[in-house]
C-alpha cells in the first residue's frame, strides 16, 4: 500500500510537469499545440548532447534544454501561430505536421536508436517495499517547485495577471492596455521551456527516441481534457488521478492494460462532461 | 515545387541512362537506413559486393549494383520499398535487414514477384511456418538467422546448466512485454523451464511496451519471492534494463533484451546497463571470432569505423556471408530467375573453423529435414545446432553479459564462453 | 449549385486519361498511383466528415482500421470469401462510425479532435491486447488473400474504386445534403435556427464517411496482403490522410485527390535522390510550408492562379 502511494506520488509529479506547459498554451491561446511533445523530445536530446556528448555539467544541460525549448516556442508562435492568425484548426494541423518534421529531423541528427540518460541525481533509497531513485525524487520535487513557482508567477506578477486577463477575454484585455501579442509570445516561450525541462526528466525516466513525443503528448492531452480548460490546480489533480490509476492498474490489475484505462478515461470524461472535471475556472 | 520534381525526374533519367550503358546485376537492400539494424545488413552487403566486383564481377563478368530502399521501420513504407525494388528497379536479388512486422508486411509482395530474398535480422518462426505450409509460394525466401524457437530451446539448457546447477536458483518470475514475440518466448520458456531445468515459474508479469515506470513492476517481482527475473523485451528494451540498474533491483535478471545485442548498447545507456545479460544470435558482442569473420570485421571497421554502428551486429555477418552465398548459388544456377537458384542456395554451406573445430556455419535446413531436438522442420532457416558439442552448425544463440565495467562476454555455451555469468554487485547472493 | 457540362466533360476526360495510363507509364509508377488512389479514398472520407462539417477527426485510422481488420480477420482466420468479408467490414465500420458520432453530439472543435485521437490510441492498444490469436497482436497478419495480382490489375481496381467514390461524393455534395453539411461547417447554430435537424445531417455525414473509410480500408488490406497495428493506428498515417485532404483543398472532391497524388508522388520521387531519413524531413517540410502558405490547399492556389491568368488575358485583350 505505502509502495503504491509513494510510486503514485512520484509518477504523478512527473505527469503534472509534463502537462503544465500544454495547459498553459491551451488556456491562453485556446490552441492545441500538437507539437508540444516535440518540446520534450528536443529538451531531452539537447540535454543528452550537452551533458553526455560534450560533457557539460548537468545544470548547464538543463539550462540549455530550457533555452532551446523557449526559443522554439517563440519561433513557433512567430512563424506559425501568428502567420495563421490564430485559426485553431490550421494551427493544430500545422503543429501536427511540425511534430512529424521534428521527428524526422531527430532521426537525421541522432539516428533512430534509443538512448538512455544518466540519472540526473544518482542513487536509490529504499523505503518500505518501494525503491525510489533519487532521480525520480528530484523530478517530482522539481515538478512541485516549478508548479508552485508558476502558480505564484501567474497570481502575483504583472505579466502573470496579464496572462490571466488574456486567457479570459482577449479583447477585454487589449482594451485595458494589455498587449495580447506580447503575452502570447511570453506564454509560448514559457511553455516551450517548461516542456523541454519536463522532457529532460521524462527522458531520464524512460529513454530518448525519435518517437518519444507521442506518449507525453497523450499524457498532456489526457490531463487537459479530464481536468478542463485553463486550470493549473485542475491539471495537478488530474495528473495525480492518471498517475495513480496507472500505478494501481500496473500493480494490482493488469500491467498490459496500462494505456487502455487512460484512453477510456479521456473518452468517458469528454462524452459525459465535455468541459472536464474541473470546468473552466480562472487560470 | 515543380523544380524539385523536375530535378528528381532528371536524376532518375540520368540514372536510367547510366544503367543501360553496362551489363550489371542488381541487388536491392530493404531495411531502415537510420537504424543500427538496417545499417549492419546494408554494410555487410556492401562489403560483400565490393569484394565480388573487385574479383572480376559475377555471372560472366557483370558488376553488381546495390540499390537501397529505406523502410524507416514503417510497415507500409516497407511494402512500397519492396515494390520499388521489384518494379521500378527490377532487382535480381534482395537482402533485407527488416524487423518482424516490416518483413511480414512485404512478404506477400515477395510471393507475388518471386524475387529471391534473404532476411538477416528477423527470427520470427511464423515466417518459416509459412514455408512449411506453402513451400511453392514462399520458396524464394531464406532466413539466415536461427528462428525464435531454436533460440528459446538452447536457452532452456542455459537455465539448467547455469541458472539452476551453478547459481542454485529454483524459482523465476517472468517479466514479459506485451507483444507477439513476448508471448511466443514466454510460452516456450514457461513450458520447458520447469520440467527441464527444475525451475518453477512463480509469477508472470506482462507489461505494456510504453510503460514509463517499472518501479511497481520490479516491486511486484521482488515480492514474488522468486530467485531471479526472466525478462523478455524486444521493444524499448533500454528502458527496462536501465531502470533495473538505476533502481538496483535486488535480484538477478537475465533473459532476452534486444537492446543489449549491439556494441552501442553501452554508449546508448550511458553506462547504465551493467549486469544485464541476454541471449543473442551469433556472432554476438564479446564473441571470439574465427579468422574469416575477423577479416570481415577488420574491413568493416576500416571502412565504416567512424559512424554508427562502428562494429557490425550479427546481421551484418549474415548479410556478408549470405550475399556471397546467394551469388555462388546464382553462378551454379545460371542466374537468379529460375527455381534452380533455390535448389543451389539450399545447398550452400560455409563452414568457418577456429582452432581446428567447427565454429560457425552458414547453411540452410533442407525442405524436409527434421531437426532432432525440436522435432520439426525449418525449411530455408539458418542451419543451427542446439546440442553440445555444437559440431553440426552454429549454435542458435549464445548468452552474453554486460559487466559493470562496460565490457561484454559470452557466458554460455561453455564452448564459446569468454567470461562468467555473474549477478550485479548490488544483488546479495 | 447545378451540374455544369464542363464538369462532366472534365470528369470524362480525367477517367479516359487514367484508364489509358497503363499504356504509357511504368509498372513502378502504377504501384505509386495505387497507393495514391487509396490515400485519395481515405482523404475523401476524412473530408466528408471533417472538411465539410468542421468536426475535425484525428481518429480516422480508427475507422479505416475497423474496416481493414474486420475483413482481414474474416477472410484470413475464418476463410470468408472476400465478396462477403468486405461488405461485413463496411457494416462493422459504420457501427464504429456511430461510436464516433456519440461524442460529436456534445462536443466540437479541438475537443472532438482529441476524443477521436483517443479512439485511435485505444484501438491501437486493444488490437494488441485483446485476442491476439485473431488480430495477430503486434506483428499483425501476413498472407491475407488479395483480390487480384499485378500492378496493372490492381491499378484498375483501385482507380475504379476511387473514381466511383469520388463521383458519387461529387454528386451527393451537389444535393441539398451537401450544401447543408457545408453550412454546418460554417455555422451550426444558424443551420439549426433555419429549422434543419443538424443531428440527422451530422449522422448522415458520419455514416457516409464511415462507409467510405470501411470500404477503402477493406480493399486496402486485400491489396497489401498484410496488416499490422503499427501501420494503421499510427500518427504518421493520420498525418498523411489529413494533410492530403488539406493540402489539396478541403471541402472539395478534387482537392483530396490532388493532395493524395501530390504527397504520394512527392515521397516516392524523393526516394532515388534522398534514400535515407532526409526524405521524410524534406517531405514533411514541404507539406508544412505549402500548408502554411495556403491552408485552403493546392486547389485554391490553382483557382486563384487561373483567375489571375484570365484577368491578365482579359486586360491584355483588345
Residue with cell 509518477: A11
Per DSSP, the three-state class of B279 is strand
Q: Residue B3 has what pLDDT? A: 47
What would the pLDDT profile of C123-157 be if each residue is shown by its tens digit?
A: 888 887 778 888 888 888 999 999 998 999 999 99
Phi then psi for residue B228, to 5 deg, are: -155, 165
- Over its C-alpha atoms, chain C yields an Rg (Å, rounded) of 20
The answer to whether the Cβ–Cβ distance between A225 and C114 falls below 8 Å is yes
- Report which listed range, A260-269, B191-200, C64-73, is most confident: C64-73
The Cα-based distances of C114 to A220, C104, C201 in angstroms read 11, 11, 22
The answer to whether the Cβ–Cβ distance between C226 and B112 falls below 8 Å is no
Q: What percent of chain B has pLDDT over 90?
A: 59
The Cα-based distances of B407 to A113, B273, B285, B314, B410 in angstroms read 20, 11, 9, 18, 11
Nearest CA in chain C to B33: C276
The C-alpha atoms of residue C182 and residue C175 are separated, in whole angstroms, by: 11
Q: Is residue C316 predicted with pLDDT exceeding 70?
A: no
Q: Residue B22 has what pLDDT? A: 58
Strands B141-143 and C226-227: unpaired
Q: Is residue C318 predicted with pLDDT exceeding 70?
A: no
Helix A88-110 and helix A36-47: axis angle, to 10°? 20
Q: Where are the alpha helices (DSSP H) in B248-381?
A: 265-268, 291-304, 314-333, 339-346
The answer to whether the Cβ–Cβ distance between C288 and A101 falls below 8 Å is yes
**Which of A178, A243, A259 shows the shortest CA–CA distance to A17?**
A243
Nearest CA in chain C to B72: C277
Q: Residue B288 has what pLDDT? A: 94
Q: Residue C165 has what pLDDT? A: 96
Q: In the structure grid, which three cell numbers stand for residue C172, read together?
A: 451527393
Contacts of A206 in chain B (CB under 8 A): 212, 236, 239
The C-alpha atoms of residue B359 and residue B97 are separated, in whole angstroms, by: 24
Q: Residue A283 has what pLDDT? A: 38
- Residue in C106, C109, C291 nearest the CB of A88: C109
Q: What percent of chain A has pLDDT over 70?
A: 95
Identify the bridge partners of residue A115 per DSSP, sorted by sequence position.
A208
Residue with cell 482507380: C159
The C-alpha atoms of residue A196 and residue C34 are separated, in whole angstroms, by: 41
| SS3 sequence of B372-385 | CCCCEECCCEECEE
Interface test with C, best of B12, B104, B143 (most C CBs within 10 A): B104
Query: What is the separation, in whole angstroms, between the first and last Cα of chain B?
Result: 66
Q: Is residue B19 predicted with pLDDT exceeding 50?
A: no
The C-alpha atoms of residue C154 and residue C138 are separated, in whole angstroms, by: 27
Contacts of B270 in chain A (CB under 8 A): 52, 115-118
**Quick check: B32 and B70 in contact, CB under 8 A?**
yes
The C-alpha atoms of residue B121 and residue B35 are separated, in whole angstroms, by: 12
Q: In the structure grid, which three cell numbers stand for residue A107, read together?
A: 532521426
The answer to whether the Cβ–Cβ distance between C103 and A271 falls below 8 Å is yes
Contacts of C229 in chain A (CB under 8 A): none
The C-alpha atoms of residue A157 and residue B235 are separated, in whole angstroms, by: 46
User: pLDDT band for position A230 (50/70/90)?
Assistant: low
The mean per-residue pLDDT over the stretch B303-307 comes to: 90
The Cα-based distances of A116 to A205, B156, B351, C25 in angstroms read 9, 30, 39, 48
The ipTM, to two decimals, is: 0.91
Q: Residue B429 has what pLDDT? A: 61
What would the pLDDT profile of A53-97 be if each residue is shown by its tens digit?
A: 898 998 999 999 999 999 999 999 999 888 887 788 888 889 989
Per DSSP, the three-state class of C221 is helix
Phi then psi for residue C90, to 5 deg, are: -65, -40
Strands B277-280 and B252-257: unpaired
Chain C nearest C-alpha distance from B192 (Å): 22
Chain A nearest C-alpha distance from C126 (Å): 7
The C-alpha atoms of residue A214 and residue B236 are separated, in whole angstroms, by: 14
The Cα-based distances of C169 to C45, C69, C197, C238 in angstroms read 9, 25, 21, 21
Chain A nearest C-alpha distance from B333 (Å): 39
More confident residue, B215 or B140: B140
The C-alpha atoms of residue C204 and residue C179 are separated, in whole angstroms, by: 13
The mean per-residue pLDDT over the stretch C208-226 comes to: 96
The mean per-residue pLDDT over the stretch C1-28 comes to: 88
Q: How many CA atoms lie within 13 A of C207 on its CB side?
A: 8
Note whether residue C280 is domain-resident: no
What would the pLDDT profile of C225-274 be if each residue is shown by its tens digit?
A: 999 998 899 888 998 999 999 999 888 899 999 999 999 999 999 988 88
The mean per-residue pLDDT over the stretch C203-216 comes to: 94
More confident residue, C182 or C16: C16
- Report which listed range, A247-261, C111-125, C204-218, is most confident: C204-218
Nearest CA in chain A to B182: A256
- Residue in A32, A97, A104 nearest the CB of C291: A97
The C-alpha atoms of residue B64 and residue B422 are separated, in whole angstroms, by: 47
**Quick check: B169 and B252 in contact, CB under 8 A?**
yes
Contacts of B72 in chain A (CB under 8 A): 107
What would the pLDDT profile of B164-185 be if each residue is shown by its tens digit?
A: 999 999 999 999 988 777 887 8
Residue with cell 518501494: A130
The Cα-based distances of B221 to B191, B414, C125, C201 in angstroms read 20, 29, 24, 54
Chain A nearest C-alpha distance from B251 (Å): 13
Residues of A with CB under 8 A from a CB of C: 30-32, 80, 83-84, 87-90, 92-94, 96-101, 103-105, 107-108, 111-112, 214, 218, 221-222, 225, 256-257, 259-260, 263-264, 266-267, 270-271, 274
Q: Residue C288 has what pLDDT? A: 92
What would the pLDDT profile of A114-164 be if each residue is shown by its tens digit?
A: 888 888 887 778 776 677 888 888 888 888 898 889 888 888 898 888 888
Nearest CA in chain B to C270: B8
The answer to whether the Cβ–Cβ distance between B33 and C27 falls below 8 Å is no
The answer to whether the Cβ–Cβ distance between B215 and A112 falls below 8 Å is no
The answer to whether the Cβ–Cβ distance between A111 and B219 falls below 8 Å is no
Chain B nearest C-alpha distance from C44 (Å): 20
The C-alpha atoms of residue A155 and residue A158 are separated, in whole angstroms, by: 9
**Which of A100, A93, A94 shows the shortest CA–CA distance to A80?**
A94
Nearest CA in chain A to C283: A101
Is C192 in CB contact (< 8 Å) with chain B? Answer: no
Q: Where are the alpha helices (DSSP H) in A77-213?
A: 88-110, 134-156, 158-168, 170-175, 180-205
Of A227-231, B99-103, B247-251, B379-383, the poorest mean pLDDT is in A227-231
The answer to whether the Cβ–Cβ distance between B88 and C132 falls below 8 Å is no
Interface test with C, best of B87, B102, B107 (most C CBs within 10 A): B87
Q: In the structure grid, which three cell numbers stand for residue B177, read together?
A: 512485454
User: pLDDT band for position B7 (50/70/90)?
Assistant: low
What's the predicted TM-score (pTM) here? 0.90
Q: Is residue B51 predicted with pLDDT exceeding 90?
A: yes
Q: Is residue B23 predicted with pLDDT exceeding 80?
A: no
The mean per-residue pLDDT over the stretch C40-44 comes to: 97
- Over its C-alpha atoms, chain B yields an Rg (Å, rounded) of 22
**Which of B180, B105, B101 shows the shortest CA–CA distance to C221?**
B105
Q: Is residue B1 predicted with pLDDT exceeding 80?
A: no
The C-alpha atoms of residue B232 and residue B220 are separated, in whole angstroms, by: 16
Q: Residue C13 has what pLDDT? A: 94
Q: What's the angle, vertex CA C267, arms to CA C264 and CA C273, rounded to 5?
A: 145
Note whether residue C266 is domain-resident: no
The answer to whether the Cβ–Cβ distance between C122 and A108 falls below 8 Å is no
The answer to whether the Cβ–Cβ distance between A131 and B218 falls below 8 Å is yes
Of B226-240, C21-35, C157-171, the poorest mean pLDDT is in B226-240
User: pLDDT band for position C197 (50/70/90)?
Assistant: confident
Chain C nearest C-alpha distance from A280 (Å): 14
More confident residue, C95 or B339: C95
**Which of A142, A205, A32, B243 shows the shortest CA–CA distance to C56?**
A32
Q: Residue A173 has what pLDDT? A: 83
Q: Is residue A236 predicted with pLDDT exceeding 90?
A: no
Residue C5: CB atoms within 10 Å: 7
Nearest CA in chain B to A247: B216
User: pLDDT band for position C277 (50/70/90)?
Assistant: confident
Query: What is the separation, in whole angstroms, between the first and last Cα of chain C?
Result: 33
Q: Which of 93-132 (B) contact C at CB < 8 A? A: 100-101, 104-109, 111-112, 124, 126-127, 130
Q: Is residue B419 predicted with pLDDT exceeding 80?
A: yes
The C-alpha atoms of residue B360 and residue C243 are separated, in whole angstroms, by: 50
Q: Residue A282 has what pLDDT? A: 40
Residue B248: CB atoms within 10 Å: 17
The mean per-residue pLDDT over the stretch B252-260 comes to: 89
Which helix H or strand E contains B398, and what residues bound it? strand B398-402
Torsion angle (degrees, nearest 10) of CA B321, B327, B333, B337: 120
User: pLDDT band for position B20 (50/70/90)?
Assistant: very low
User: pLDDT band for position C192 (50/70/90)?
Assistant: confident
Q: Which of 212-241 (C) contact B at CB < 8 A? A: 224-226, 228, 230-231, 236-237
Chain C nearest C-alpha distance from B170 (Å): 30
**Quick check: B110 and B141 in contact, CB under 8 A?**
yes
Mean pLDDT of chain B: 88
Q: Residue A248 has what pLDDT? A: 86
The mean per-residue pLDDT over the stretch B198-221 comes to: 86
Q: Which domain holds residue C90?
A: 5-234
Is C115 in CB contact (< 8 Å) with chain A? Answer: yes
Q: Residue C78 has what pLDDT? A: 95
The answer to whether the Cβ–Cβ distance between C290 and B1 falls below 8 Å is yes
The answer to whether the Cβ–Cβ distance between B180 and C225 falls below 8 Å is no
Q: 3-state DSSP helix/strand/coil percent for chain A, to nearest 5? A: 75, 5, 20
Domains in chain C, number = 1
Note whether residue C277 is domain-resident: no
What would the pLDDT profile of C158-173 be if each residue is shown by its tens digit?
A: 999 999 999 999 999 9
**Quick check: B207 and B221 in contact, CB under 8 A?**
no
The answer to whether the Cβ–Cβ distance between B15 and C272 falls below 8 Å is yes
The answer to whether the Cβ–Cβ distance between B207 and A255 falls below 8 Å is yes
Per DSSP, the three-state class of B412 is strand
Q: Is residue B303 predicted with pLDDT exceeding 70?
A: yes
Q: Is residue C109 predicted with pLDDT exceeding 80?
A: no
The answer to whether the Cβ–Cβ distance between B34 and A107 falls below 8 Å is yes
Q: Domain map of chain A by residue range? A: 19-212
Q: Residue B314 has what pLDDT? A: 94
Q: In the structure grid, which three cell numbers stand for residue B123, read together?
A: 527470427
Q: Go through the domains of chain B in sequence order and give each one's CATH number.
A: 23-147+292-349 (3.40.50.2300), 149-286+397-416 (3.40.50.2300)
Phi then psi for residue B238, to 5 deg, are: -60, -35
Is C137 in CB contact (< 8 Å) with chain B? Answer: yes
**Which of C288, C63, C232 shows the shortest CA–CA distance to A34?**
C288
The answer to whether the Cβ–Cβ distance between B268 and A256 falls below 8 Å is no
Residue with cell 537501397: B68
Q: Residue A279 has what pLDDT? A: 62
Identify the bridge partners of residue B176 per DSSP, sorted by sequence position.
B206, B232
The answer to whether the Cβ–Cβ distance between A131 and B217 falls below 8 Å is no
Note whether residue C100 is domain-resident: yes
Q: Residue B21 has what pLDDT? A: 46
User: pLDDT band for position B239 (50/70/90)?
Assistant: confident
Amino acid at each position: 500500500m505505502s509502495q503504491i502511494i509513494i510510486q503514485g506520488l512520484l509518477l504523478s509529479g512527473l505527469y503534472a510537469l509534463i502537462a503544465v506547459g500544454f495547459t498553459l498554451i491551451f488556456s491562453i491561446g485556446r490552441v492545441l499545440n500538437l507539437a508540444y511533445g516535440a518540446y520534450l523530445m528536443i529538451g531531452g536530446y539537447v540535454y543528452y548532447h550537452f551533458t553526455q556528448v560534450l560533457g557539460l555539467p548537468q545544470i548547464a544541460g538543463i539550462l540549455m534544454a530550457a533555452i532551446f525549448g523557449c526559443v522554439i516556442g517563440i519561433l513557433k508562435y512567430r512563424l506559425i501561430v501568428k502567420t495563421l492568425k490564430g485559426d485553431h484548426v490550421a494551427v493544430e494541423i500545422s503543429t501536427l505536421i511540425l511534430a512529424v518534421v521534428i521527428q524526422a529531423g531527430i532521426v537525421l541528427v541522432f539516428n533512430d536508436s534509443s538512448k538512455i540518460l544518466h540519472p540526473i541525481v544518482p542513487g536509490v533509497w529504499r523505503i518500505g517495499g518501494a525503491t525510489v531513485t533519487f532521480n525520480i525524487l528530484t523530478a517530482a520535487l522539481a515538478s512541485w517547485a516549478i508548479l508552485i513557482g508558476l502558480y505564484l508567477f501567474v497570481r502575483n506578477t504583472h505579466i502573470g495577471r496579464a496572462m490571466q486577463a488574456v486567457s479570459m477575454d482577449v479583447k477585454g484585455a487589449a482594451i485595458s492596455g494589455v498587449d495580447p501579442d506580447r503575452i502570447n509570445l511570453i506564454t509560448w516561450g514559457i511553455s516551450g521551456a517548461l516542456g523541454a525541462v519536463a522532457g529532460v526528466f521524462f527522458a531520464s525516466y524512460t529513454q530518448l527516441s525519435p518517437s518519444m513525443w507521442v506518449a507525453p503528448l497523450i499524457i498532456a492531452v489526457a490531463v487537459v481534457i479530464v481536468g478542463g480548460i485553463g486550470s493549473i490546480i485542475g491539471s495537478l489533480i488530474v495528473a495525480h488521478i492518471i498517475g495513480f490509476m496507472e500505478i494501481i492498474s500496473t500493480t494490482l490489475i493488469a500491467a498490459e492494460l496500462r494505456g487502455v484505462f487512460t484512453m477510456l478515461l479521456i473518452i468517458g470524461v469528454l462524452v459525459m462532461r465535455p468541459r472536464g472535471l474541473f470546468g473552466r475556472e480562472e487560470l | 515545387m515543380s523544380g524539385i520534381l523536375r530535378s528528381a525526374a532528371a536524376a532518375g533519367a540520368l540514372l536510367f541512362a547510366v544503367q543501360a550503358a553496362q551489363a550489371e546485376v542488381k541487388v536491392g537492400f530493404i531495411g531502415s537506413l537510420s537504424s543500427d539494424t538496417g545499417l549492419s545488413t546494408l554494410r555487410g552487403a556492401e562489403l560483400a559486393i565490393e569484394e565480388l566486383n573487385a574479383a572480376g564481377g559475377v555471372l560472366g563478368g557483370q558488376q553488381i549494383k546495390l540499390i537501397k530502399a529505406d523502410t524507416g521501420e514503417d510497415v507500409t513504407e516497407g511494402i512500397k520499398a519492396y515494390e520499388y525494388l521489384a518494379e521500378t528497379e527490377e532487382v535480381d536479388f534482395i537482402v533485407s535487414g527488416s524487423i518482424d512486422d516490416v518483413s511480414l508486411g512485404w512478404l506477400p509482395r515477395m510471393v507475388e514477384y518471386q524475387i529471391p530474398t534473404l532476411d538477416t535480422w528477423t527470427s520470427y518462426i511464423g515466417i518459416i511456418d509459412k514455408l512449411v505450409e506453402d513451400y511453392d509460394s514462399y520458396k524464394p525466401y531464406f532466413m539466415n538467422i536461427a528462428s525464435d524457437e531454436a533460440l528459446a530451446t538452447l536457452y532452456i539448457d542455459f537455465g539448467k546448466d547455469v541458472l539452476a546447477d551453478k547459481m542454485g536458483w529454483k524459482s523465476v518470475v517472468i517479466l514479459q512485454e506485451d507483444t507477439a514475440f513476448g508471448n511466443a518466448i514466454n510460452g516456450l520458456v514457461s513450458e520447458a523451464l520447469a520440467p527441464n531445468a527444475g525451475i518453477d515459474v512463480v509469477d508472470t508479469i506482462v507489461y505494456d511496451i510504453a510503460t514509463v515506470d517499472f518501479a511497481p513492476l520490479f516491486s511486484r517481482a521482488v515480492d514474488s519471492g522468486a530467485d531471479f527475473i526472466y525478462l523478455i523485451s524486444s521493444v524499448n528494451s533500454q528502458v527496462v534494463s536501465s531502470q533495473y540498474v538505476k533502481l538496483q533491483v535486488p535480484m538477478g535478471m537475465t533473459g532476452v533484451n534486444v537492446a543489449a545485442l549491439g556494441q552501442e548498447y553501452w554508449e546508448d545507456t550511458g553506462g547504465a546497463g551493467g549486469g544485464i545479460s541476454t541471449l543473442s544470435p551469433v556472432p554476438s558482442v564479446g564473441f571470439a571470432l574465427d579468422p574469416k569473420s575477423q577479416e570481415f570485421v577488420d574491413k568493416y571497421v576500416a571502412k565504416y569505423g567512424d559512424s554508427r554502428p562502428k562494429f557490425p551486429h550479427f546481421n551484418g555477418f549474415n548479410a556478408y556471408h549470405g550475399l556471397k552465398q546467394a551469388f555462388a548459388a546464382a553462378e551454379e544456377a545460371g542466374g537468379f530467375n529460375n527455381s534452380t537458384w533455390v535448389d543451389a542456395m539450399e545447398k550452400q554451406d560455409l563452414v568457418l573453423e577456429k582452432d581446428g573445430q567447427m565454429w560457425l556455419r552458414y547453411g540452410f535446413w533442407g525442405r524436409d529435414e527434421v531437426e532432432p531436438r525440436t522435432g520439426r522442420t525449418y525449411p530455408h532457416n539458418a542451419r543451427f545446432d542446439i546440442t553440445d558439442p555444437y559440431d553440426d552448425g552454429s549454435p542458435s544463440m549464445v548468452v552474453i553479459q554486460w559487466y559493470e565495467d562496460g565490457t561484454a562476454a559470452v557466458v554460455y555455451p561453455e564452448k564459446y564462453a569468454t567470461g562468467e555469468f555473474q549477478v550485479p554487485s548490488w544483488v546479495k547472493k | 449549385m447545378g451540374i455544369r457540362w464542363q464538369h462532366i466533360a472534365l470528369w470524362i476526360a480525367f477517367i479516359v486519361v487514367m484508364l489509358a495510363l497503363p499504356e504509357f507509364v511504368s509498372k513502378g509508377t502504377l504501384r505509386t498511383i495505387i497507393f495514391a488512389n487509396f490515400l485519395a479514398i481515405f482523404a475523401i472520407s476524412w473530408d466528408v466528415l471533417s472538411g465539410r462539417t468542421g468536426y475535425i477527426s484525428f481518429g480516422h485510422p480508427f475507422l479505416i482500421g475497423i474496416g481493414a481488420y474486420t475483413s482481414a480477420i474474416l477472410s484470413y482466420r475464418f476463410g470468408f470469401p472476400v465478396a462477403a468479408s468486405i461488405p461485413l467490414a463496411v457494416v462493422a465500420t459504420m457501427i464504429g462510425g456511430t461510436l464516433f458520432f456519440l461524442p460529436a453530439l456534445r462536443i466540437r472543435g479541438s475537443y472532438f479532435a482529441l476524443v477521436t485521437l483517443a479512439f485511435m490510441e485505444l484501438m491501437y492498444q486493444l488490437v494488441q491486447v485483446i485476442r491476439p490469436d485473431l488480430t495477430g497482436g503486434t506483428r499483425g497478419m501476413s498472407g491475407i488473400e488479395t483480390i487480384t495480382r499485378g500492378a496493372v490489375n490492381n491499378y484498375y481496381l483501385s482507380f475504379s474504386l476511387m473514381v466511383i467514390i469520388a463521383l458519387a461524393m461529387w454528386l451527393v455534395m451537389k444535393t441539398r445534403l451537401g450544401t447543408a453539411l457545408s453550412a454546418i461547417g460554417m455555422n451550426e447554430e444558424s443551420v439549426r435556427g433555419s429549422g434543419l435537424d443538424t443531428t440527422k445531417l451530422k449522422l448522415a455525414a458520419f455514416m457516409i464517411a464511415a462507409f467510405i473509410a470501411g470500404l477503402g480500408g477493406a480493399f486496402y488490406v486485400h491489396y497489401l496482403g498484410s496488416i499490422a497495428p503499427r501501420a494503421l493506428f499510427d500518427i504518421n498515417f493520420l498525418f498523411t490522410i489529413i494533410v492530403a485532404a488539406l493540402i489539396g483543398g478541403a471541402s472539395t472532391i478534387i482537392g483530396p485527390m490532388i493532395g493524395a497524388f501530390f504527397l504520394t508522388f512527392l515521397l516516392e520521387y524523393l526516394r532515388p535522390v534522398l534514400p535515407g531519413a532526409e526524405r521524410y524531413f524534406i517531405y514533411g517540410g514541404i507539406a508544412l510550408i505549402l500548408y502554411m502558405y495556403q491552408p485552403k490547399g493546392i486547389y485554391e492556389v490553382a483557382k486563384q492562379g487561373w483567375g489571375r491568368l484570365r484577368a491578365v488575358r482579359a486586360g491584355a485583350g483588345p
